[in-house]
Amino acid sequence: QVQLVESGGGLVQAGGSLSLSCTASGSIFSINAMGWYRQAPGKQRELVAREARGGSTNYADSVKGRFTISRDNVKNTVYLQMNSLKPEDTAVYYCNAQITSTTKIAYDYWGQGTQVTVSA
């Protein structure tokens, strides 16, 4: 009933840039927060960046100053601009959204994941 569709992953050299986008659609009543998580093989999924209601943002220490999250509430879309990429940024990146559906039930929805690979 609610879907998150991601785009923008790919292969880039260290020091390069990449942009991700994620659009939510379906039976949406409201979106309280949207953000990005990433997961590498054998590691736990970790928060990269998140923007909540009111525009407050949170970033992982490892990406501060390099990544920027932005959100378009009209388009139900969240973006992640990634600059100065490092090999350790290599992971599958997942879009996440805290969404209240038209049934008035809140739930964390996830995108399908997009691979970001940074070569040395």
Q: What is the pLDDT of residue 30?
A: 92
Indicate the length of the chain as a whole number: 120
- pLDDT level of residue 102 (50, 70, 90 thresholds): confident
What value does the mean pLDDT of the chain take?
Answer: 95
**pLDDT tens-place string over residues 18-27:** 999 999 999 9
pLDDT higher than threshold 90 for residue 55 = no
Q: Tell me the residue ranges of DSSP E strands in 40-103.
A: 46-52, 57-59, 67-72, 77-82, 91-101
Q: What is the DSSP letter of 14?
A: T
Task: Name, in order, each residue with C-beta under 8 angstroms of 66's C-beta and a sequence gap of 6 or more.
Answer: 82, 83, 84, 85
- The residue-averaged pLDDT of 50-63 equals 93
Whole-number Cα distances in Å, 118 to 9, 46, 111: 11, 18, 21
